[in-house]
């Protein structure tokens, strides 16, 4: 939740949701246009004008002298004329003549529900004004029918002389212009309504974006993440268009899970799903150059962070699922395999293992069988799965993975493997889901993967408390799936991706073939997997 905003912060938030703002603004404008064109009724105006003069003015003009007092008195009488013409008696007469002059369909068009037994309320659609404060009166009618508007004005003009002379004693009433139907609608003003809709959409979308950002507690400021938990950011991995995204928010997944029994009944009748795509590795040809360099930067920072550690063993985990920890662990292991020929990746997620599918190896034996001595290290470890990287898959899923990882047998296995390998990368389940990662003892440090814009600070805080209680050495954070902000400046913490990444090239290979070892260390058969007689390195 960001409680303070600078001008650049506001620009960053709005530019980050520019597409949403533009689409929302356009959508509001289209809705307003359609409403003005097809939903709002059209109104038509007609007007007539007449000149009213009193008897005093007439006598003055007969003598040839214009009395200014008489002229001012005539102007002040215009309001009296309007009051007379808008009286209930005059309006009732207009309604009566209008009902007699028009057929029922035309009358219903202008006044829905009106008829001989239910006269229309003409007063609501009639307006009378004085033209430039003179004795000239303008009568305007606004209805849904141009013919009805013109007929109302002409009826009023016909009734006005008798009413004004009888009530006010006006000298004469002369018609200047009679009303004629005007088929151009005066309302709604379609361009104005559309512009109002666009403005409403713009302000509504901006308000929504700022409100969501204000109440958003997810990790969107990497500098804030580092300062909040007083831990370094060991690296950032940028987002790519084809990167795996979480398909549904948690609430939608919870709602969808309510229909699990129905889905299970239909499972037999549906066609099988396509296999889940393999995780993106830095050895793939279509991985951008900056992603590869991001993992190399993480590798360098881990080397410095473990510089004084006795064991170069790193546990990689996350606070919640779907943060990319397994992909991060695989790529960090591959990055280490580029600088060392003794790197081991251990799949310690014995609940939902993925490494055997990522590297396409057999999972019949692995960590679970190695811990309980059902298989040897040579039978469990898959040698050179990619370059110099060795893989210890999870093996068959045990019923008690936490107990296995906390056992002394696993500690002995890890101690033996640490003497054979320079670096060991351990992929573990999310810490806020299960306690498997905290069960692992005697490691160099823990690396926490945080997915940008998904995990919130409350989840990370819970994970940090668990690691503090277990006495784990927290090395730092790796922020995954970071979005480059359109504004170009680093409010969201872009540290290392500003130089040398604008070449537009793709990396064709990331890991070279394993180098030849000295003759005294070569195994009798170089083809993996090695024979059990292979001496330990």
CATH assignment of 222-243+277-495+506-514, among 3.40.50.300, 3.10.310.10, 3.30.530.20, 3.40.50.720: 3.40.50.300
Q: Out of 98-107, 260-269, 369-378, which region has the weakest mean confidence (pLDDT)? A: 260-269
Computed on alpha carbons and rounded to an integer, the radius of gyration of the chain in Å comes to: 42
Q: Work out the burial of residue 171: count CB atoms within 10 Å of its CB; fewer than 13 is exposed, 13-18 middle, 19 or more buried.
A: middle
CB atoms within 10 A of CB 275: 7
Q: Are 55 and 239 in contact (CB under 8 A)?
A: no
> Is residue 294 over pLDDT 90?
yes
pTM for this one? Answer: 0.61
Q: What are phi and psi of 137, to 5 degrees?
A: -105, 140
CA dist., res. 273 & res. 439, Å (int): 36
Task: Give ranges for CATH 3.40.50.300 in the chain.
Answer: 222-243+277-495+506-514
CA dist., res. 342 & res. 402, Å (int): 27
Per the prediction, the chain carries an average pLDDT of: 79
CA dist., res. 265 & res. 502, Å (int): 52
Let me know how long the chain is: 537
Q: Are 478 and 235 in contact (CB under 8 A)?
A: yes
Q: Are 98 and 148 in contact (CB under 8 A)?
A: yes
Tokens describing residue 444: 């160099």
Q: Out of 20-34, 362-376, 478-492, which region has the weakest mean confidence (pLDDT)? A: 478-492
Task: Give ranges for CATH 3.30.70.1130 in the chain.
Answer: 44-177
Q: What are phi and psi of 403, to 5 degrees?
A: -65, -35
Q: Tell me: the pLDDT tens digits for 342-385?
A: 999 999 999 999 999 999 999 999 999 999 999 999 999 999 99
Q: Tell me: the pLDDT tens digits for 510-536?
A: 333 344 444 333 333 334 444 333 333
Give the class (CATH, top level) of 44-177.
alpha beta
């Amino acid at each position: 939740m960001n409680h303070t905003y600078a001008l650049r912060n506001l620009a960053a938030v709005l530019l980050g949701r520019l597409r949403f703002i533009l689409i929302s603004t356009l959508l509001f404008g289209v809705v307003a246009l359609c409403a003005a064109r097809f939903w709002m009724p059209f109104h038509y105006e007609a007007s007539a004008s007449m000149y009213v003069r009193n008897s005093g003015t007439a006598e003055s003009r007969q003598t040839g002298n214009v009395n200014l007092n008489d002229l001012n008195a005539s102007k002040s009488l215009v309001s009296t004329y309007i009051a007379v013409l808008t009286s209930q008696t005059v309006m009732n007469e207009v309604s009566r003549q209008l009902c007699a002059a028009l057929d029922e369909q035309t009358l219903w068009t202008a006044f829905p529900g009106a008829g001989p037994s239910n006269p229309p309320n003409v007063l609501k659609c009639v307006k009378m004004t004085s033209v430039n404060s003179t004795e000239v009166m303008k009568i305007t009618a606004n209805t849904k029918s141009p013919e009805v508007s013109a007929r109302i004005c002409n009826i009023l003009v016909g009734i006005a002389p008798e009413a004004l002379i009888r009530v006010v004693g006006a000298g004469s009433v002369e018609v200047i212009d009679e009303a004629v139907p005007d088929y151009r609608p005066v309302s709604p003003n379609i361009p104005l309504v559309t512009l109002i809709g666009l403005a409403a959409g713009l302000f509504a979308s901006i308000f929504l974006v700022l409100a969501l950002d204000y109440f958003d507690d997810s990790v969107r400021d990497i500098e804030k993440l580092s300062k909040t938990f007083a831990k370094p950011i060991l690296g950032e991995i940028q987002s790519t268009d084809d990167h795996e995204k979480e398909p549904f928010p948690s609430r939608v997944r919870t709602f969808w899970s309510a229909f699990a029994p129905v889905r299970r009944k239909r499972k037999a009748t549906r066609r099988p799903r396509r296999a889940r795509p393999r995780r993106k590795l830095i050895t793939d040809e279509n991985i951008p150059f900056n992603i590869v360099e991001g993992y190399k930067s993480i590798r360098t920072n881990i080397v410095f962070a473990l510089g004084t550690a006795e064991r170069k063993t790193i546990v990689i985990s996350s606070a919640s699922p779907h943060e990319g920890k397994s992909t991060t662990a695989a790529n960090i292991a591959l990055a280490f395999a580029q600088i060392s020929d003794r790197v081991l990746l251990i799949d310690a997620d014995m609940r939902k293992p993925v490494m055997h599918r990522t590297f396409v190896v057999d999972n019949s034996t692995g960590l679970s069988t190695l811990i309980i001595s059902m298989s040897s290290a040579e039978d469990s470890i898959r040698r050179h799965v990619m370059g110099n990287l060795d893989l210890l898959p999870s093996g068959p899923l045990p019923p008690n993975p936490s107990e296995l990882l906390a056992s002394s047998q696993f500690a002995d296995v890890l101690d033996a493997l640490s003497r054979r390998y320079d670096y060991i990368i351990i992929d573990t389940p999310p810490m806020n889901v299960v306690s498997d990662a905290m069960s692992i003892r005697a490691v160099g440090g823990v690396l926490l993967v945080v997915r940008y814009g998904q995990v919130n600070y409350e989840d990370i805080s819970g994970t940090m408390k668990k690691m503090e209680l277990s006495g784990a050495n927290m090395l730092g954070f790796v922020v995954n799936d970071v979005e480059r902000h359109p504004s170009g400046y680093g409010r969201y913490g872009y540290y290392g991706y500003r130089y040398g990444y604008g070449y537009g090239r793709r990396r064709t290979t990331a890991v070279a073939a394993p180098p030849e070892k000295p003759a005294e260390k070569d195994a009798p058969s170089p083809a993996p997997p090695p024979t059990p007689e292979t001496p330990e390195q």
